[in-house]
Amino acid sequence: MDDAATDGADDGASERPGEPQTGDAFGEMLRDHHAGEETYQIIERDDGWIGPSAGGEHYFSEFDEWTELEQRAMGHVDGRVLDVGCGAGRHALYLQNEGHDVTGIDLSPGAVAVARERGVEDVREVDVADVAEAFDADTFDSVVMMGNNFGLVGTADRAPGILDALAEVATDDATLVAQTRDPTVTDDDDHVAYHEFNRERGRLPGALRIRVRYGGLATEWSDYLMAAPETMADLAGETPWDLDETLEPDEQLTDAGGDYVGILTR
Ligand SMILES: C[S@@+](CC[C@H](N)C(=O)[O-])C[C@H]1O[C@@H](n2cnc3c(N)ncnc32)[C@H](O)[C@@H]1O
């Protein structure tokens, strides 16, 4: 057997043709969209399920293209704002134009670069888990986690720590505007089976473990929580935040339903 034939057998999965390279898949998608290319993203879940998700166009959309639910959520934002996982900065830009002092944070270098190029004045590469180290206490009057970004609390174990850290950098009368969806409002067999798989391994049903794929790139695997209102209330109850109300859409955003925005105060 020649060297080439034995090399492939010994080098492991990372050398397999077609295996994605770990990198800033989401950020590259945003950069390409910003450069005028047509883009897409694929979500891969840790049970092997894969599916298409919103492409760049969604992340660059303007206020009047948003759902009525997202538009209404912006009415709960006050004062100085922290936009958590700001992506290409659609909420940060809207709020900045409305006169708010806005800081956007994102883990993706590509997202930070694109948001900055689009005009977000203060955008930084910060992991939501590190906000208490990145900002002074009592800095923000509002924290927004839009585009289902309540999901960034990750899992039931991680959520209270992240919500505590966000409370630390928020003022005493701050508001947290957190979008997500109740994952159990679905009759899709694959999703129902995944929720059961999660319960069996001691996770909340909507505690997704996913990565984003774009071209030959994949992000690191990460935890992203889809939470029913009762779950959001329970997790917040362990922290300074309380779930005051939920904003329900006039029309559900997806066929499955379950979309809402939680309004939490301290
Ligand atoms: C679903 S997108 C939402 C983007 C934006 N909020 C919107 O609605 O257009 C999720 C964003 O969160 C960012 N993100 C993922 N993990 C993060 C983390 N640990 N800390 C901060 N941002 C994170 C991603 O890079 C991505 O930009």
What's the pLDDT tens digit per position in 148-170?
999 999 999 999 999 999 999 99
Cα separation, 116 vs 83, whole angstroms? 13
Per-residue pLDDT tens digits for 92-121: 999 999 999 999 999 999 999 999 999 999
Which residue minimizes the CA distance to atom 24 of ligand 1? 85
Which of 63, 82, 83, 107 for mutating ligand 1's site (highest number of atoms within 8 Å of CB)? 107
Which residue minimizes the CA distance to atom 8 of ligand 1? 147
Separation in Å, CA 123 to CA 63, 74, 75, 108, 129 = 20, 19, 22, 11, 16
Local structure of 165: helix, strand or coil: helix
Which residue minimizes the CA distance to atom 7 of ligand 1? 147
Selected from 1.10.357.10, 3.40.50.150, 3.30.565.10, 3.20.20.450, the CATH number assigned to the domain covering 64-205+222-265 reads: 3.40.50.150
Q: How far is the CA of 182 from the centre of ligand 1 (A)?
A: 19
144 CA: nearest ligand 1 atom: 6
In percent, the amount of the chain with pLDDT more than 70 equals: 92
Which residue minimizes the CA distance to atom 19 of ligand 1? 127
Asked if pLDDT for residue 138 goes beyond 80, the answer is yes
User: Would you give the DSSP letter of residue 228?
Assistant: -
| Start-to-end C-alpha separation, the chain | 68
Contact 178, 73 (CB under 8 A): no
Q: Which residues line ligand 1 (CB under 6 A)?
A: 26, 59, 85-87, 90, 105-108, 111, 127-128, 146-149, 152, 222
58 CA: nearest ligand 1 atom: 9
Cα separation, 243 vs 232, whole angstroms? 7
Predicted local confidence at residue 18, as pLDDT = 74
Predicted local confidence at residue 182, as pLDDT = 96
Q: How far is the CA of 16 from the centre of ligand 1 (A)?
A: 29
Q: How far is the CA of 81 from the centre of ligand 1 (A)?
A: 16
Q: How far is the CA of 6 from the centre of ligand 1 (A)?
A: 41
Interhelix angle 229-237/159-169, nearest 10 degrees: 70
Q: Looking at 132-146, 165-179, 242-256, which range is the least confident one?
A: 242-256
Asked if pLDDT for residue 82 goes beyond 80, the answer is yes
Q: Looking at 36-40, 85-89, 184-188, which range is the least confident one?
A: 184-188
Which residue minimizes the CA distance to atom 10 of ligand 1? 85
Name the residue with tokens 């955008």.
123
CA nearest 262: which of 176, 136, 133?
Answer: 176
User: Cα 216 to chain center, whole Å?
Assistant: 21
Asked if pLDDT for residue 245 goes beyond 90, the answer is yes
Predicted local confidence at residue 3, as pLDDT = 39
Which residue minimizes the CA distance to atom 9 of ligand 1? 59
Identify the band that residue 255 occupies on the pLDDT scale cut at 50, 70 and 90: low
Per-residue pLDDT tens digits for 4-54: 333 334 444 455 677 899 999 999 999 999 999 999 999 999 999 999 999
Contacts for 94-97: CB closer than 8 Å, 24+ residues apart: 94/62, 94/63, 95/144, 96/120, 96/121
Predicted local confidence at residue 250, as pLDDT = 80
Q: How far is the CA of 144 from the centre of ligand 1 (A)?
A: 11
